[in-house]
Structure 1
Amino acid sequence: MATLTHRRIPGRVRDMPSDFPQVPVQDNETSLDGPREAKAFLYKFSQAVEESDWKSFEGLFAEQCWWKDHLTLTFDKRTIQGRQGISSAWQSLAPQRKPRGFSIAGPGIEMVETPPAFVRMTPQMATLDIPFAFSVSRPDCACVGIAKAIPSASSWKIWVLTTSVVSLKEYPFQPLPRAVTSNDLISPEQRGKATPQGLPHFQEALDAVVIGGGCSGLSNLIMLDSIGANVACFDLGSPGEAWLQRYRSVRLHHPNFMIQLPKYPVPADIASTHLNGAELAQYMSRAVQDLKLPLFAGVKVTSNVFDQERRLWTVSLEEVQSGQTSTVQTRNIIISHGFYFNEDCPVIPEGLKDRGKFSGPVQHTTQFSTTDLYEGKRTVIVGSGNSAHDIAKFLGDNAAVQSVTMLQRSPTAVFDFDTFHPFITALYQGNIPVDTADFLFSQLPLGILRDWMGGAIAELVKSSEKLYSKLEAKGYLIDRKPNFIQRVYEDRVRSIYFDAAGAFDLVLRDRIKIAHGTVVGFTENGLIVKDAETEAERILEADGVVLATGYAKTDLPKQWAKSGFLDAESALQIENMGMPAVDVEGEMIGQVTRSGHPQLYFSGYIFSAARSFSRFVAIQIMADINGQAPEHGLP
């Protein structure tokens, strides 16, 4: 059952609290025995917990401190600030969840295969990192944590404590493909099909239905199948088909190790370090086939109606090719079909909704696939984010395209790929397991992450000044102070570009030109553009236009109630996932827990988050269907 008690209170990334304690270099730092100090501190921590000595427990925390929990004691995603608040929470939850068996983690311990160590991050900041394993009850779970402690006058004090569930002890995750038993509703003949196979054939209710078979959907399918749930996934197309339909030059900006599905690393014979659309589709299809996943491609979910008395969903299905329909029943649904980036709701600037006498091709990036329509044409791309740059590079590489101009409305944060890439992928070099990298990547509270990223990006900006000067000479408007975390969590990574494609080279060679202003309409010869400062209007000549203008924030509950995708009562309950937001603790509203509906989960975001999100969803669902989901005791 998804966490339902107390809906999250919206917050803003800019308002999240933060603190970086000053830890200057110590004289004895090189001789500090990190593992011994970590073991001694964890003994004090576990003794205080197991003896319910909450005064001593509180004394182990610094004055400014945080606890970030992923479904251990809270069985929720929570971030609690302050030692009194943290101590009160543990005191409240410990009698039911019974945290115990604390031990130092390291190699061989899932999700924390990193040894304890004293880690210096900057000349003014260092922590004693204490990775540990422990257990909780009701349900019995294997858990891990990492305490980042700082030195005080007499002892170590916790600055940030992060804890995460790993697995249910009674229902551990199993290797795939798993043996099909008599309890499985989906037969071996209907597993492992990456192409349309028709509608499913079974009568009893499933434990879960996953809606959407992209990377997030497949991640949820993998983890639910691995934990032993009766699950099926439905998608309009075959795995990765949406990536094949995008512009042909599309290529992921993150390396294979970082984007891999749970339990299925990218096979070595897919040689590219950064997959293109075709390679990603191939990888996803092979995952379905090799892991024998219960995916039904070419099947559209048309409606979901919840029966309150029976606690079951009726899911209506339509086979895309034949139009045949059927229904299945399920206890839970997991929505993973791109609700943040809704391609059905592209942003079309108001002035461009009527083309008037303009007769050239006009496509939103959701429609753009090849450069064919733009050959021989002066092409303008409206926008300056990732898709705008990638498409500009694609067009610019085609000598048959007469000219390429990118229209900037406001400054863009731009980074040379070779400079930024090592920073963002530092944990994903393959020297630690990917689930450990995921845990470490998510360990900081959002306010601290915001400020840490802000400082790091400021250094990257300094190192990029030579490039920026050259780009500005070509007319680029550059944002040197982006709030990176705000744009990721609230603005769908708006106006940030990492030049993996090599668009900057074409800008510097004048193959891609830069123009400024806001589009207000079409004219026969191109676009009417208004200057941001003078508000004067001018004509930007064009024979073809690509709109790289993003996706609208939508009222998904209202939209789904109107279309019948969700029954009206359920639609009223859910959080609006068409408006990305965080709560006052810095947790993503509606994702993974607290969807608003007790048997509906939202689980879909960036590649690297899909693995941990799918783990948390699978554990909640398996606990629920076996009557082990705990009550949520914290407001």
Structure 2
Amino acid sequence: MAALPIDDGHTVVLPSLPKSFPRPESSPVSIAQSWLDRLRHTINAGRFEDLKELLHVESWWRDALTLSWDLRTLHGLPNITGLLQKRTARLHFNFLRIHRNGYFDPKWCHISPELECIETMFEFETSQVRGKGMLRLVQDFDGLRKAYVLYTAAQELVGYEHAAYTRRPHGGNNSLGGGALAGNWLERRRRTVDFQEAEPTVLVIGAGQAGLNVAARLQALGVSCLLIDRNKRIGDNWRNRYRTLVTHDPVHTSHMAYLPFPPTWPFFTPKDKLGDWFETYASAMELNVWIRTSVKSASYDEGTLTWTVDLLRADENQQRTLHPRHVIFCTGHSGEPSVPSFPGQDTFKGSIYHGSQHEDASYCKGDLHGKKVLVVGTGNSGHDVAQNYCENGADVTMIQRGSTYVFTTTKGLLTINKGAYEEGGPPTEDADVYSQSTPLPLKFHLDVEGTKEIAEAEKETLDGLRSAGFRLNSGVGGGGILSNYLRKGGGYYIDVGASKLIGEGKIKIVQSPDGIKGFGENALELADGRKLEADIVVLATGYDNMRSSVRKTLGDKVADRCQDAWGLDEEGELRGMWRPSGHPGLWYQGGNLLLCRIYSRFLALQIKAIEVGLNPRGQSK
């Protein structure tokens, strides 16, 4: 499979390292802890010139809110040293020590086949944050063990820890301000949810996995938060999708913050079951949610650093005006459906609709047998729609414009999660640290070999696709699923059955690199003049950038100040997502369940830091 070209400027060359040094007699534990001790002393003493003995000249330091109030990736000793020198007041380490949990204890392993290292998880505390990280030590030509990859991720703010475990609420009536005379738990909850006595600090737009996770994190930090959702019920963002949908991510990756799925939960979650779980989660976590509520207008005051947001509550048949300090968009990282229009479309006698409107082929009026269905697009939704129509007797053809990365849930998906998210694996919070510990450009590069191994294991499936005329790729730069997802936001299919139907010829493939020219009464015309008869055309053409949702809801003035969301920035972090968006007091939160759980922590901590004065103006750098 050919690799898609890299167009974001991030290419990686692994350093050459000596192979002749024998392993030392010292244990990985003593080597790793000694290195951590030396790093702490060096940084605390401000002896930055000595970092050359601790960090490889081509080292990477990925950081979440420890070096700055932002998500950063620094590559190369000069860049790392330069930032550390600017952070001397903030970066006093109270401790740096190995995190012993039996899963990520210090051990010998390989970053790549040619790069042996000592790898360990560690804990740390600075004057402002407490967190965890990962260290990967290699041996340089001078014989010294140096960090090639270092990851630091804040888990909580010192002095402003989340209300959990030993800090959990008391719960008894005598612990409530004013006692039971001021209301029991239920009575207080009703007033809180309606915001009768106070205004929320944060308004979250969208109560799917993105909104629910970040709201739970914020409330655990004592930050008042209101979620709004235009649907009739929490979870309808999943329930209202096509009938046969199940998650393409396994259960181990998909837990919600603070509340994992029970051990009886299925490996892949049906959409309605997930919607019900979201509803249960909101109740159990005491989240403040207004359903059937939409934004009517919003404006931002640069002087007071607050929003004025007019909300329309359909259930209450009233308008409420609120003044939050932060607005978080949680409407889906892909934004609004991208619905193209074509010449002659109005003359087409059949049905045309976008993939986001698909419900279930079995609901179609009349018999589908013999009906010609064209699916434009070969991503996840395109495949699911095509499979649904095929299994209900339709004559299905998929139109492919560019190549697609395909791997299966039975082999590829299990391979990429091995060692972190699996049955009997490490605690989810530690797995989350481990899974994010490699800088993205480097991870994409290292994933190239793994992508080749997955392709070899799935050779029968991929050969069947090729024989059917389906064009495959190995991801941007050959980096597979994650490279496509984070760099492009799509362009892949996690196979749950459609590939077999394509290989057997039950779903046909037509290539059209230049796309669609237009429509006739009973056919779709490709750019090269070929005509395909059709009764139904499904445009599985993806979604616009999340910034389009901001533009639609808050207007051009706000959207013009925002960055696009998704894709890599110049350092190798995702643009705009889970971090300053470009507009003060406005944030994006999105992604699959795993990313929403992990990065909701960092987003909530950024907002808390602003609110308690650690970062009062929201400066990211």
**Measured at CA, do residues 39 and 186 of structure 1 come closer, stay the same or move farther in structure 2, by a change above 3 Å?**
farther
Does structure 1 residue 284 correspond to structure 2 residue 278?
Answer: yes
Moved more, 94-103 or 567-576: 567-576
Give the letter for the 1:510 counterpart. Answer: G
* Secondary structure, counterpart of 2:88 in structure 1: helix
- Report what 1:601 is aligned to: 587
TM-score (norm 2): 0.88
* Secondary structure, counterpart of 1:128 in structure 2: strand
- Kindly provide the CA deviation profile for residues 5-36 of structure 1, in whole angstroms up to 9, marking residues without a partner as x: xxxxxxx7642242323568778559762112
CA-CA distance at 1:71 after TM superposition: 0.3
Does structure 1 residue 341 correspond to structure 2 residue 334?
Answer: yes
Structure 2's unaligned 5+ residue stretches are 1-5
**Measured at CA, do residues 469 and 143 of structure 1 come closer, stay the same or move farther in structure 2, by a change above 3 Å?**
closer
Task: Give the whole-Å Cα distance in 1 for the aligned partners of 2:524 and 2:594.
Answer: 39
Task: Give the whole-Å Cα distance in 2 for the aligned partners of 1:168 and 1:370.
Answer: 47
CA-CA distance at 1:44 after TM superposition: 1.7
Does structure 1 residue 114 correspond to structure 2 residue 114?
Answer: no
- Report what 1:4 is aligned to: none
**Measured at CA, do residues 217 and 581 of structure 1 come closer, stay the same or move farther in structure 2, by a change above 3 Å?**
same
Does structure 1 residue 309 correspond to structure 2 residue 309?
Answer: no
Contact persistence 1:186–1:202 (CA under 8 A): no
CA-CA distance at 1:597 after TM superposition: 2.6
- Report what 2:382 is aligned to: 388
Contact persistence 2:250–2:267 (CA under 8 A): yes
Task: Give the whole-Å Cα distance in 2 for the aligned partners of 1:188 and 1:317.
Answer: 27
Moved more, 484-493 or 325-334: 484-493
Contact persistence 1:364–1:546 (CA under 8 A): yes
Contact persistence 1:347–1:552 (CA under 8 A): no
Does structure 1 residue 428 correspond to structure 2 residue 415?
Answer: no
**Measured at CA, do residues 335 and 144 of structure 1 come closer, stay the same or move farther in structure 2, by a change above 3 Å?**
same
Contact persistence 1:58–1:84 (CA under 8 A): no
- Report what 1:586 is aligned to: 572
- Kindly provide the CA deviation profile for residues 258-287 of structure 1, in whole angstroms up to 9, marking residues without a partner as x: 011100111345x32100111110111111
Contact persistence 2:311–2:319 (CA under 8 A): yes
- Report what 1:614 is aligned to: 600
Cα RMSD (Å): 3.0
- Report what 1:361 is aligned to: 351
Give the letter for the 1:463 counterpart. Answer: A
1:154 corresponds to which of 135, 143, 154: 143
Give the letter for the 2:96 counterpart. Answer: F
- Report what 1:132 is aligned to: 122
- Report what 2:213 is aligned to: 219
Contact persistence 2:132–2:433 (CA under 8 A): no
* Secondary structure, counterpart of 1:406 in structure 2: strand
Percent identity at matched positions? Answer: 25
Task: Give the whole-Å Cα distance in 1 for the aligned partners of 2:387 and 2:596.
Answer: 29
CA-CA distance at 1:486 after TM superposition: 4.7
Structure 1's unaligned 5+ residue stretches are 1-11
Task: Give the whole-Å Cα distance in 2 for the aligned partners of 1:77 and 1:335.
Answer: 18
**Measured at CA, do residues 30 and 187 of structure 1 come closer, stay the same or move farther in structure 2, by a change above 3 Å?**
farther
* Secondary structure, counterpart of 2:237 in structure 1: helix
Contact persistence 2:193–2:288 (CA under 8 A): no
Task: Give the whole-Å Cα distance in 2 for the aligned partners of 1:369 and 1:191.
Answer: 40
- The list of structure 1 runs, each at least 4 consecutive aligned residues, that deviate by more than 6 angstroms after superposition, is 24-27, 190-193, 630-634
* Secondary structure, counterpart of 2:346 in structure 1: coil
- Report what 1:528 is aligned to: 525
Task: Give the whole-Å Cα distance in 1 for the aligned partners of 2:405 and 2:225.
Answer: 42
**Measured at CA, do residues 628 and 365 of structure 1 come closer, stay the same or move farther in structure 2, by a change above 3 Å?**
same
CA-CA distance at 1:166 after TM superposition: 0.8
Task: Give the whole-Å Cα distance in 2 for the aligned partners of 1:631 and 1:316.
Answer: 25
Task: Give the whole-Å Cα distance in 1 for the aligned partners of 2:313 and 2:506.
Answer: 46
- Kindly provide the CA deviation profile for residues 80-126 of structure 1, in whole angstroms up to 9, marking residues without a partner as x: 12112212221220223423322222229xxxx72122213543122
Does structure 1 residue 402 correspond to structure 2 residue 388?
Answer: no
Moved more, 243-252 or 87-96: 87-96
Contact persistence 2:377–2:401 (CA under 8 A): yes
Task: Give the whole-Å Cα distance in 1 for the aligned partners of 2:112 and 2:439.
Answer: 19
CA-CA distance at 1:254 after TM superposition: 1.0
Which one scores higher on RCO, CA 8 angstroms, separation ≥ 6? 1
Contact persistence 1:382–1:406 (CA under 8 A): yes
- Report what 2:3 is aligned to: none
- Report what 1:497 is aligned to: 493
Task: Give the whole-Å Cα distance in 2 for the aligned partners of 1:436 and 1:406.
Answer: 41
Task: Give the whole-Å Cα distance in 1 for the aligned partners of 2:170 and 2:279.
Answer: 20
Task: Give the whole-Å Cα distance in 1 for the aligned partners of 2:472 and 2:263.
Answer: 39
* Secondary structure, counterpart of 1:95 in structure 2: coil
Task: Give the whole-Å Cα distance in 2 for the aligned partners of 1:75 and 1:402.
Answer: 53
Task: Give the whole-Å Cα distance in 2 for the aligned partners of 1:97 and 1:159.
Answer: 20
Contact persistence 1:346–1:552 (CA under 8 A): yes
